[in-house]
Every structure is written in C-alpha cells, then in structure tokens.
Structure 1
C-alpha cells in the first residue's frame, strides 16, 4: 500500500523549514564572527534587554516567550538561540519562525499556521464521509498541522487496508483562503480489492485443506468475488483465523496444536495473495479417568460427579471441561453454596494418549459484584444487556459467568464490539464489571425476486428489525408476490417476557394460493400468539394459540369431483386451537462436535369455539454425524403425523397432510396420497391424508471442485406415504390410495453456497409409486440443516 506523506504544498513547506533553519544558523554564526573582532573572549554571547515579537495574531507573546525560554537581560549563546528556535518550531503552531538579533533587541518573527476552514474527503465510494470523519483528528476551526494531516491520511489508508484495498492512496492537500484560512482536502484513490487467490496449509494430516478452509472466515476468491467480501486480504482477519484454527483442533482433542505462521505472498500482478498457513497438529487425546474431589462441607463429590456428562474415551475438548464446570457451579448454587470454585486438574498419559481430569471443589475468595456499568449503548436499553448476566449487584463474583455473559452479549448481534472487563471496586472484596459496547445497525430492508419450482417467480419485500426500539425485540414484515402464491406475514418476538427467560411470539399471516396441482384455490388467514421457555439444558417447550380462517374456491373451468365440491361448499371455516411443541436439541450444548440429534413432538387441540374439533399430532427425529475427517455428512430423519376429528366436521383437503415436495422429495406438493379419481368424468383431485410417515436418508460430500466455488454434492433416499380419509369424505366419492402404500424415491443433490443463501438442487427418480401419483424430477429449494 502506498500512502502519500503529504501534498506538494506540504512537501514544499517541509523543505522551507529546513532552509530557514539553515539560514538562521548561518546568520547567527556570521553575526557572532563579526562580533568577535573587538572582543574575542565574548564571541558567542548575547545579552538582550528587549524581545520583540512580530507576526503573531492568535498566539500571545507571553506564550511565544515561554516556548523560546529566553529571559531579558540574561546572557545567551548562539547554541541557546538555536535551542530557542527549535522549541518555538516544536510547538507546532507556526509555519515560519525566525530569530533575528538586532543590537540589544531579539526579534522573533513568526507566521502562524492557518486555521482550517473546512475538511473535505474526495474520491471515496466504498467508505462514507461520516465514517472516515470519525477517524481523523483534523477538524474545522482548528489550527492546521502538517503532521496531523499526514497522520490522518495514514489512518484513512489503514481503514481501506482493513477493507482489503491495500493499494489505496490518500493525499492531503490544502487550498489557501483569505484571513489565513485553508481548506483541507483528503484526496483518495481507493484502488481495487486485494483478494486471497489461494489458501493452503502445511503440516495438516488429520483434516484436509478443504475442511480447514470451511473453518476460516477468510475465503478464497471464487466465481462471485464481486459479491463476497470475505475473500479480501485483511491481516487482522488472518490473525483471528489462526486462533479459530487452534480452537478447531483443540475442540477435537489436539491439545498441542500450534499454528506457527501465516505467510502471505503477493501475486506477480500484485492484485492478490497466496496465503499459506503452517500447522503442527500433534496427537489427538481422549478423556481418561474423570474424578471429582471436594474440600467443602455440604458439597458431596459423588453428587457433583453425577452431574457430569463427559465419559472416559470421549475425544478431549476444553469446551466440554468448561461445560462440566458450569454444570457443577449451577448445582452448587441450587444447594445454596456460595463462593464455590471448580478447579480442573489435568494429567497427561503419553502412553495411551489420554487426559485424566480431576475436578476439585474448593472455597473461592469472598468477592462480590459491586455494580455493573454499561457504556456505549445509545439505542439499546441497559436492561437488554443486563439480562445477559446471570448475576446481579451483590451476588458472589464468578469470573466464568462474566465470560459467558460476554459471549451472550456478543451473540445478540446488536454490537460491532462488546468488551466486558472486571476491575476492583470500592473495597478489595468488591468488583465492578465494565461493559463497553459499540452498536451497529440491526434493521434491514430487502427487495428482490424469488423463484421456486412450486410457487413460480415472484417479488419479495422484507423489512426486519432485530432490536426494535432498543428493547431487543424482533419485528419482521414480509410480502411475497409469487405467481402462484401470495404471502403476507407480520411477526413479533419479545425474547424476555416480563424480564423472564420466556419468549413471547406473535405471528399474523395471510396466504392466497392458486394451485397448479389441484382444481381449487385457497385463502388462509391466521394469527398465532405463543410463549416458549426452556425445560432443561437442551429442551424447550412452546405453548401457543392458533386462530385460522380458511376457504376453498373452485378453479375456473376445472372439473371437480364430489368430495372437493362438498368441501368448497362449506365456505369459510374457522379453526380455533391450543397447541404445544417440545424440542430437544443436543447441539445446544455441543457435547459432540461431529454429531448431533433433534427430537420434536407437538399437538394442536382444536374445538376451542371453532368449527372443527380435532387433534393434530406431529413428531420428528433427526440424527446427523460426520465421517471421513468430517468431509462427509450423514443424516437420517423420521417424520410422522396423525390428524383425528370428532363431531360432524371431518376436515378438508387443505386441512389434511400434503407431504409432496416439502417433506418427501420426488413428488409434486399434492402428488401422492388419497385421490378422488374418475377417468370417465375426468376427475383427479388430491385429497391429502389424515396420516403420514416419511423416512429420509442422505449424505453430503465434496465433488472435487475448487472449494471457492461453494459447490458440494449429495445423494438421498426417501420412503414415505400419506393415507387415510374420513369416512364421510370417502362416502362422497371414489377414493384411491386410502390405505398405506409406501413410495420410494432416490435422487442426487447439488448444494451451492451463494451470497443470497445456500441453494439446493434436487434431481430425483421415483423407484416405487402409484399410477396416479404426480412425480417431480427436479426441485429447487433453500438448503437447510436440521
């Protein structure tokens, strides 16, 4: 990167300083030589009875005399005069300084630096004026200083450096105005982004380059390099990635890992870098013996040992040790034990590569939290930050809890920077916790297009605010105008209802569907308030109310069977239901970095004043693991549902389960399940089913393409069915496939990580299906994890 050390005028000013300094020295030496002719003994001495100052306008004479340090009537030498000159120049207030002896009078001539009339920044497009103005010290109505202007230019260039634009140049220039004023202009040449062309590793054996690149925040320049900023070379980001790599290895048992260096070499064109990271992996360790000892009365070691989740033989991870300490400290709090410290003592066993861990329960220092000070939150309310702490003023001080609170504050996503530090309070046994944050924008407006193989092409408008009114609340409005589906939704979330660890949600939605796969259209409006709260470390329960109004209408010109005709004739139907959903997610604690599983179970109980009395039960189980050094992901899932009605209302097609496309791949949305079929009348209506079950097995793996393309492959195998129609509906017409009949689908997937989100392309083939099933051989969706 090239940063100008000043404009041409500044350079000329600097040279003039040196010339004037040399001139003064020459003048002084000549004067002293002449004075030495009659008085040889006093050749180098001056005695001034008067000092006159010329040229100063803003700076007082007394201040200049103070800088010079020459007193009236005192004998001074030529060296003293030179020192006085240097001190006046070093004040940084004068553009020109001259010391002229005139008999017994010393004349100090100065020309003050001009005042800055205004500061302008030109040539910048990537960084805004207001952002750059916050970085520099030069400001209007202040005295202009060349050194400050040069430092400001370096600061601006460094800001571009952090954006990956290493070739940026910043040149400060001045424009003279009347009344000794100048306009200061920073001319910026932004240059292009210096990209990371290649990231490679030396010394890695357990994990491939591809796997390690996925860990890093620095990415290689890919096909969409114009949209991806993570491929810019930023030295601070590389340093952060070195720590990320260490954490990655240590969480997988490589406790001795060392990232010894990161070498960046410019390409011949000087527009990119080849980044090489050196790693010394060491050996992988597992947990050996795990024991707990206690030195406190009331803290029974066996009880604390039972709270541990780690077992001998597991891959060692510092995070699991920290998690275990947190569990023990929580148990101590439940038992009313304060100032408890859990100290892990680790013993290495080089022979079998295990680490024995002994958790020692001891009494810690009696230190209390005096107060929690929060600064920098101009929008976010104090209570939003304060509730991330599990301790309040007056509680025992726990350093680990403070660190975890800092992580929770950063996880909010409201701040660019969040520093949490503890310092001594008003007494040795008191601690003040300082929280300093720098806020960032939390709202977004999105406008774009959307396409799906089921809904067609449409326009999407979204407004989202993750920190509504600084209260930590989320508000989102979305409008989707796809050709086949029009969706309007408004959602609101309060994450800490009444200050508790309870989330309150409120959703309102409206959908109009013009189905390509059925002979009817539908409109559905619903509102859904609810609460959710944790039941355990991994478990969470949600309770909600669902109010839904829906209507089916016949598609113009369509031939409709008797069952759908009867359903359309019902007109508007109002469903009122209470529901709950329990979720257990092992990934919340991250006990296994290579695997995880998810369980979900929920029910909706209808009949709370609505038209339908029903029970809708759904469940899902998902398990995932990674093999072959985490290069290949295996995933298996089972999903099922049952819908039962009581009373005269027996449900409609839009009430029942339709599992095609979304739940089971290879079929249209209404492509499988019970159908009213009459070949003579031309009737073929999908009815949905009261029950469904689907099992899915899939694998995701690299395709050997360059990692920067963000493209991987996958295969899948789905088996499932939807069946069952109420007796009333079945009696109205001829129903096919009312009984269970398993369909089998095999397929391939292509995953593509794009700046607009991860996309998944599915290519499928039904191995087993029924004659009237509607197959779908291609589907485009958003890629999701379980």
Structure 2
C-alpha cells in the first residue's frame, strides 16, 4: 500500500485565515529528464520510439509532442513538446531523449482508478461523499484532483462544525496498472462556540447583540442545541444580521471590521470576537417629494408619506415609503415612473434629509417569468407571489419584494430571483430558481400545567399540501381534564386572489376539575380572510356549534342541574373579526401593537345570541432593548336575545387569562355548593416585564414580574340559587416569573400573590407549565 501524506481539514480557511497544509503525492512524483539543451542545435528525426505506454496511443503522444517525421526542429521546440506532454496529466513520469535520427520517448502512465471507497465516516454516508468527489472509477488517476476532493470532503465536515476533521487519501495497487482509492476519514468532534464577545460596541450590550445572532454560545444543554456549532457560513450570515440590526436603528455607518475565531487548545471549541464600529445614530431630517414630470403633482405624493422628521432613520422606512408611492402611481395610472430616494447627510445635527424624486423611468417590460427547481410546488404557487405578470412594466423593487415573499413561504431551502435581458433591449426575463425542502411534519409531545395536569398531544401538519401552497393540520390531544381533536385547512390564495379560505373542525370533551359536569363541544367554521389595509385584515365566517352537558354530579349547583336538563345547544350563524398587527411588519423594530375585534351572531332552536371578543396587546423594548414590556387587554361578552346562557358557553378564567387563581377560581359562585358557575362577561388587563437576571444567556433563563387585574361576572338565570360575586368586582394579582427556554420546550414558573380577592375565590400561589414536541 502506498500512502499519501496526511492532510488536515481547513476549517478556518475563509473565516479565520487558518491555512490547512496542502501536501503533494509522494508516490506519483514526476521523474523528468529534460533533453540536452543546445542553443544552436537542431534535429531531424526519421523515426520516433515510444516506450512504456499501455493505454495511451502513440498518435496521442505524438500529437502532444507536435513533431513530425523528417521535420527539422530546434532544441527549444523539442523541450516545448516535452513540457506539453508532461503537462497533459496523463503520465507519472516523462523522458525525452534524442538518439541520432531517432527520438526516444519513455513514459510511465498514471494508473486507472479501479474502485473508490470511504472509511471512518459516520456523519456523512458513502452516497453523500461520492457526490462530493470528482475523481471517478475507471478513469486515470489525477493526484491533484484527489487532493482537491479531499479538501472538498473536509469542507463538507467543516459545514457540520467538525473543523478538526482529517482526510487522508490512500492508494492500493492492483494488477494491470490499476489502483483502489481509499479516503480514510477522521471526523473528529463538533467544534462548539464557547464564547461570543464584541469589541467596539457602546450602544448595545454584548448580551443584546448575542441575542440577534443565529450562532449561539454552548450552554448546559449543548448536546441538544445545534446553533452553538461553529459553522463558517453561519458566521457570514451573522455579520449581515448585525449590520441589519444596527441599520434599522439609525446607525448608518456601522461596520463589522472583522470576526476573529480562536481555537481552544483541544480544538473542540472556538472563542469568537466580533470587532465592530457603531458610528453615530441618525434621525430623519427634512422629508420632501419633488417631480421631474409635468403631469405629476408632487404635493399629492407627499401626503401619502408616513415617514416623518425626527424618526430614527431606517432603510426600511425609505423602502416602505417608496412602495407606498409606487402604489399611488398605479392608482393614478402613471407608468414608467421611477422613484429615487436622495439622501443628504447632515453631520452637524446627525440627521439625514430624504428627498423622493419622481422621474421618467426606462420603458422596459416583463417578457416572461421562468421558474426552475420546483419538483413539488406548482408553478402558480410561486408565480402568484409576483404582483407583475408578462407584459407589465418592469419594476426591480417589485421583483425583489417578490423574492422575499417566495423565501418567506418556507417551502424552499434556497430561492434565487434574478432579471436578465430578454429577446430585445426593452424586454426582461425574470428567472426564479428554487430548491425544495420538506414542509410536512409529524410530532408527538407532552405538556404539563398545575391546572390541567399532564397531557399528551400528537399532530400532523403539511404547509405545502400537494404542492399547492395549502396548509393542512390534524391534531389530537388528551389530558386529565379534556380530550381534543381538530382539523384545519387553509388555502391562502382562494380563486387566485389575495383571499384566504380556511376550514376549522374541532371537537372537545371536557371534564374540568372545577366543574360538576362533563361536556361535548363541536365547532364547524369555514372562513374567508383578506387584507383591508397595510397591517389590517378582515375575516368573515360561517359558524356552526353543537354543545351538550352530561354526567352532572348529584351535589352540583341547582343552576348546573337545570341547564343540563335543557336539550343540547345547536346554533349557527355569521361572524367577523378585524385584526391589526404591527408587531412584525411595523416600522419600529422594538415595538408593536396587535388589535383584534370580532363578533358572532348565532341563532338556533329557542336561542339567539351575540358573542363579542376584544383583544389588544402592545409590546416594546426598553433600557437598550434589554427589557421586554408587554401589556394585554382582553374582554368578551355573550348576550342572549332569546334563551339564556349555560355553563358550557359561559367564560371561566384560568391562568391563561388571569394568573394567581385556579381555573374557575373567580367569578359567580353558588355559595351553598361552593361551585364555579362561569360568567357572561370578563375583562382582564395583564402587564408584564421580562429581563435578564445575570445568568449567561446561553442558559436561556430570564426573570419577570407581572401584574394582572380583572373581573368575571354576569348570569342570566339563577333558579333560586344563592349566587355570590355576580357583580363586576375586581381582582388584582402581583407576581414574579422565571422563564427557561429549553430544547424540550419553554418552561415557565410563576409565583403570585393576590392583593385583592373575594372570600370564596380559589387562589394559586405557584404555577408551572411546560410543553414539548419530539
């Protein structure tokens, strides 16, 4: 067996400049004897003698030499032919020797690769490695290509965080000048990120910046976390993420001057240092619109802008403003209008003046949109993300936004959208190249809460059902107090419009610990959802509901017993919900609001009622974005115009709505039986702050404080029972929380203390919840 020199993987070749040694084959060393040089000597060969070639034809060798019989050639021409033959890569060694009128050429051919195999690989299987190497069986062995293949294998392991991997090619000689090529692989351990630190940051702490990065530090549960593995491509992504983070906060001069990874002595860990230059924070100065077109009123466009002087400058602000102005050009039926932002920098007051200039753009049209790589997803699913079609004016910004929407679908591992010149200079072809990725999942999990106990859940979901972009999910759950089953289907582009069709079927069997009865509830709900503004949407729906009460306890409240004697509730009706959400799409990256208001108008045999729900939430970050503040208000009302409410459609407030009390722990109660009755109305406000508590952030532990205030009240019929707390009477709770974000699910520990309660309320001072999927 002939051994190649040992070679290590170059894990830091790009990011850190750690140069991997590149060895040459010791076995295949070209032994060259150059022809004797004679400056003025010339030759004329009557014959050529070729020795040593087995596979390579004489004619091929002579063609490389470029010398014909009887041709007079100089010594330099003989030497040039020798070099061409040597550089052909076909021979291990070459000798050229003139002997009188005969030219003698002696060659030793490289062997043929008989078989390629891999040894020592576990993380990457043979098929994956075979797809990487370019050396092929039954081809001439090229030592330089073998070395390049070894480097590619090392790079593949580096992308998995195994930068200490070593690849050692070996050859085993066989008969007839054949060899077996074996890549001996030492995979090594995963190289983890032990610590991430920053140099040059003043506006934001290391903790805040580490929270932005995709790469994470190795923590207690490092065996379960994969984002703490050192991967070069991820570091490159993190550099861009940092730049985007600062740019969105007005730091237009921010730069990452370098990322320095340092290996630990054991080579199983990396200390990463990001060197940054923050610069100064800029605000928006003067905002104006000017027009170079005689038929365009600049003042009308200026009124459409939402960017204001004094705002923290962000490229997103400018992009959104251009999009808003472009929409206005479409409404005004103006074509080929280019909107160009001109930024004027004012270093004295740290502002940026923004002027939007409307000018005549080039007359370029979209010739066609070509889509490739979608083996599962239908073309129309991708095509509908474009607001332009063939024949429309070409708008580069709309194409970029379409590319972002395609990536946001989550159907593709990679999606590239590029424009190129079409069949004429005024035509553009848009090329879309995508790489599919799995979009379905089957999960099984468990959850626990002090109110419901241990529960098991299972679900199947497919986000791109049959390649049509539809979402389908089926879920089953069971706990000590209830069992649930549900099917949800969503068609996001119903009738090829910006209209989502949804269908929801749910069934719940409930035996709550605070209720003296069991219930079955089924809901059938088809819906249509469509946008009504930039951040607002409206859902309209049909709703059918079935609910029954059974297995009422003998000592249950007389109210519950009378309600259970009534026939099952069967009702149907119409409903709507308006939603407004800026938490992800708003202009402020640190704050957002969510508002939802909806009503269902239901009617059935002997019943008519309206159910109204309101939810409002605001979030923001303060103290250099270290502390999260959240405020939520929720209220609901069910009002019967015919018939009366029952326990199965009244509200019970558990910890999801108001912490510090058991499920059914507040609200109207039967004083005699001490039984929770639920209420027709509730209103709750929750205030919460989450902040670091000094532990390393890779542990995923943070602290919080909260304050809840609310009430549950209102009954239609009391059937002569002794009912207490049927009026609007506030309860107040304060508490502290510990959050632990673990790979098995988010854990939350709440310690609470009611500061205002009623005598028969059921407080709970500690609550623990966890949920997980596996």
Tell whether the 8 Å contact from 1:528 to 1:545 is kept in structure 2 after alignment: yes
Q: How does the TM-score come out when normalised to structure 1? A: 0.90
Which stretch of the first structure deviates more once superposed, 396-405 or 474-483? Answer: 474-483
2:649 is equivalent to residue 637 of structure 1: no
Which residue is 1:594 aligned to?
A: 590
Which residue is 2:45 aligned to?
A: 47
2:636 is equivalent to residue 627 of structure 1: no
* 1:774 partner SS: coil
2:740 is equivalent to residue 752 of structure 1: yes
Tell me, in whole angstroms, the C-alpha distance in 1 between the residues paired with 2:9 and 2:472: 47
Deviation at 1:109, TM superposition (A): 5.5
Deviation at 1:177, TM superposition (A): 5.5
Tell whether the 8 Å contact from 1:642 to 1:691 is kept in structure 2 after alignment: yes
Tell me, in whole angstroms, the C-alpha distance in 2 between the residues paired with 1:41 and 1:89: 22
Tell whether the 8 Å contact from 1:51 to 1:72 is kept in structure 2 after alignment: no
Tell me, in whole angstroms, the C-alpha distance in 1 between the residues paired with 2:494 and 2:172: 58
Q: Residues 781 and 102 of structure 1: is their aligned pair in 2 closer, same or farther, counting only changes over 3 Å?
A: same
Which residue is 1:663 aligned to?
A: 657
Aligned positions of 1:494-643 closer than 5 A? 494-554=491-551, 559-570=555-566, 572-607=568-603, 609=604, 612-643=607-638
Which residue is 2:719 aligned to?
A: 731
By percentage of residues, which structure has more helix?
Answer: 1
2:695 is equivalent to residue 700 of structure 1: no
Tell whether the 8 Å contact from 1:538 to 1:588 is kept in structure 2 after alignment: no
Deviation at 1:359, TM superposition (A): 1.3
Indicate which of 703, 706, 711 corresponds to 1:721. 711
Q: Deviations over 1:669-705 (max 9, x none)?
A: 2221112232xxxx23222110000011111111111
Tell whether the 8 Å contact from 1:575 to 1:606 is kept in structure 2 after alignment: yes
Q: Residues 441 and 94 of structure 1: is their aligned pair in 2 closer, same or farther, counting only changes over 3 Å?
A: farther
* 1:587 partner SS: coil
Tell whether the 8 Å contact from 2:406 to 2:415 is kept in structure 1 after alignment: yes
Tell whether the 8 Å contact from 2:45 to 2:103 is kept in structure 1 after alignment: no
Gaps of 5+ in 2: 1-5, 11-21
Tell me, in whole angstroms, the C-alpha distance in 1 between the residues paired with 2:119 and 2:569: 63
2:723 is equivalent to residue 764 of structure 1: no
Gaps of 5+ in 1: 33-39
Equivalent pairs counted in the alignment come to 756
Tell me, in whole angstroms, the C-alpha distance in 2 between the residues paired with 1:372 and 1:233: 38
2:207 is equivalent to residue 210 of structure 1: yes
Which residue is 1:56 aligned to?
A: 54
Deviation at 1:589, TM superposition (A): 3.5
Tell me, in whole angstroms, the C-alpha distance in 2 between the residues paired with 1:538 and 1:384: 23
Indicate which of 664, 672, 685 corresponds to 2:675. 685
Q: Deviations over 1:238-268 (max 9, x none)?
A: 2222222122112111222222222222223
Instruction: Provide the aligned C-alpha RMSD in A.
Output: 2.8
Deviation at 1:458, TM superposition (A): 3.2
Tell me, in whole angstroms, the C-alpha distance in 2 between the residues paired with 1:358 and 1:655: 57
Tell me, in whole angstroms, the C-alpha distance in 1 between the residues paired with 2:84 and 2:9: 27
Tell me, in whole angstroms, the C-alpha distance in 2 between the residues paired with 1:535 and 1:746: 39
* 1:244 partner SS: helix
Tell me, in whole angstroms, the C-alpha distance in 2 between the residues paired with 1:235 and 1:12: 26
2:495 is equivalent to residue 465 of structure 1: no
Deviation at 1:50, TM superposition (A): 4.0
Tell me, in whole angstroms, the C-alpha distance in 1 between the residues paired with 2:72 and 2:26: 32
Tell me, in whole angstroms, the C-alpha distance in 1 between the residues paired with 2:605 and 2:597: 24
* 1:658 partner SS: coil
Q: Residues 371 and 145 of structure 1: is their aligned pair in 2 closer, same or farther, counting only changes over 3 Å?
A: same
Indicate which of 669, 674, 681 corresponds to 1:675. 669
Q: Residues 82 and 552 of structure 1: is their aligned pair in 2 closer, same or farther, counting only changes over 3 Å?
A: farther
Tell whether the 8 Å contact from 2:558 to 2:719 is kept in structure 1 after alignment: no
Which residue is 1:265 aligned to?
A: 262
Tell whether the 8 Å contact from 1:56 to 1:110 is kept in structure 2 after alignment: no
Q: Residues 514 and 118 of structure 1: is their aligned pair in 2 closer, same or farther, counting only changes over 3 Å?
A: farther
Tell me, in whole angstroms, the C-alpha distance in 1 between the residues paired with 2:642 and 2:473: 38
